[in-house]
């Protein structure tokens, strides 16, 4: 792509997102990091969610249309600016070249600085989650590759600065084998997280204990960092910070 073509393509791109969270199904992201998304949205960051599949069929849902309505309602609760359903196959999600390119196209289109996605297998739960992790890892890489215009027409390369892994709220609190963990204080957004999860009536109305499980998990995670509710993330690779005081919320005007 020439410089002129790149400039033309950039002019037609939508407003960029600061962060994109990727899930295999609608409700994955809410359960994993809904509190963090709500918190960042409240601070003025532009937040996106990409669901790789529509999550259907499921036992208590009449179909994809209702599930999409639930997903849009949940996104509104969290203050999400853009929600995209990629249209890959639920229950048959596999890491393949076509899936990688489809997700990388959205990264190039919306140019996030940060991508968050699955970081581990979820035994006895959907194998789509593990496939989603591999697809996301590859798409982050594909997003920045030049000299590949045949697969990314009119979409300039984009380098994602940071990638974090999440784990579902009801799974173990850390990702095995990854020492680079952070906890986000969601004390002020735990209720928004729970409200977003409850938007999925077809998935959770028959599971009345889901609220207790999510709240308890957030309490345990937060307790490790001395806050009332938290969500845990692992860095895909270690990264350096410029201002340690700001990173640790100890900068001017803070009371920590």
CATH code of 97's domain: 3.40.50.10320
Domain membership flag for residue 252 = no
What's the total number of domains in the chain? Answer: 1
Owner of token pair 């999510």: 214
Q: Name the band, by pLDDT with cuts 50, 70 and 90, for residue 5.
A: low
The token pair at 219 is 């309490």
Decide if 169 contacts 216 (C-beta within 8 A).
Answer: no
Give me the chain's average pLDDT, please.
93
User: Residue 56's closest CA among 31, 78, 82, 27?
Assistant: 27
182-241 pLDDT tens trace: 999 999 999 999 999 999 999 999 998 999 999 999 999 999 999 999 999 999 999 898
Task: For residue 255, tell me if it sits in a domain.
Answer: no
- Chain CA centroid to CA 97, Å: 21
Query: Residue 123 in contact with residue 40, Cβ under 8 Å?
Result: no
Q: Is residue 215 part of a domain?
A: yes
For strand 230-235 and strand 82-88, is the pairing parallel, antiparallel, or unpaired?
A: unpaired
- Residue percentage of the chain with pLDDT more than 70: 93
Rounded to an integer, the average pLDDT of 18-46 is 98
Q: What is the mean pLDDT of residues 46-69?
A: 98
Pairing of β 19-23 and β 114-118: parallel
Residue 232 neighbours by CB under 8 Å, 6+ apart: 166, 167, 173, 174, 181, 182, 183, 184, 221
Global pTM value: 0.93
> What pLDDT, in 10s, does the model give residues 121-150?
999 999 999 999 999 999 999 999 999 999
**Confidence at residue 6, expressed as pLDDT on a 0 to 100 scale:** 52
H or E stretch including 8?
helix 3-11
**C-alpha to C-alpha distance for 206 and 25, rounded to whole angstroms:** 18
Q: By percentage, how much of the chain surpasses pLDDT 90? A: 84
Q: Is there a domain that residue 256 lies in?
A: no
Using CA atoms in the order 89, 73, 202, 87, what is the torsion angle rounded to 10 degrees? Answer: -10
Residue 254 domain-assigned?
no
Domain limits for position 203:
3-247
pLDDT value at residue 4: 47
């Amino acid at each position: 792509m020439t410089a002129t073509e790149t400039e033309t393509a950039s002019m037609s791109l939508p407003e960029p997102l600061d962060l994109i969270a990727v899930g295999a199904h609608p409700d994955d992201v809410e359960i994993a990091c809904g509190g963090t998304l709500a918190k960042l949205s409240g601070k003025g960051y532009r937040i996106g969610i990409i669901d790789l599949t529509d999550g259907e069929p499921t036992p208590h849902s009449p179909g994809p249309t209702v599930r999409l309505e639930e997903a849009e309602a949940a996104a509104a609760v969290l203050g999400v600016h853009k929600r995209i359903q990629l249209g890959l196959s639920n229950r048959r999600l596999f890491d393949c070249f076509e899936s990688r390119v489809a997700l990388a196209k959205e990264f190039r289109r919306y140019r996030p600085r940060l991508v968050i996605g699955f970081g581990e297998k979820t035994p006895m739960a959907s194998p789509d989650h593990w496939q989603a992790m591999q697809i996301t890892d590859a798409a982050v890489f594909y997003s920045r590759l030049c000299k590949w215009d045949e697969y990314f027409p009119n979409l300039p390369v984009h380098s994602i600065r940071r990638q974090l892994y999440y784990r579902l709220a009801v799974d173990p609190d850390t990702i095995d084998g990854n020492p680079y963990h952070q906890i986000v204080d969601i004390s002020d957004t735990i209720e928004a997280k729970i409200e977003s999860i409850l938007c999925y009536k077809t998935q959770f109305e028959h599971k009345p204990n889901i609220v207790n499980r999510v709240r308890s998990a957030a309490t345990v995670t937060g307790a490790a960092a001395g806050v009332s509710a938290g969500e845990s993330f692992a860095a895909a690779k270690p990264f350096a910070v410029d201002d340690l005081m700001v990173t640790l919320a100890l900068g001017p005007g803070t009371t920590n």
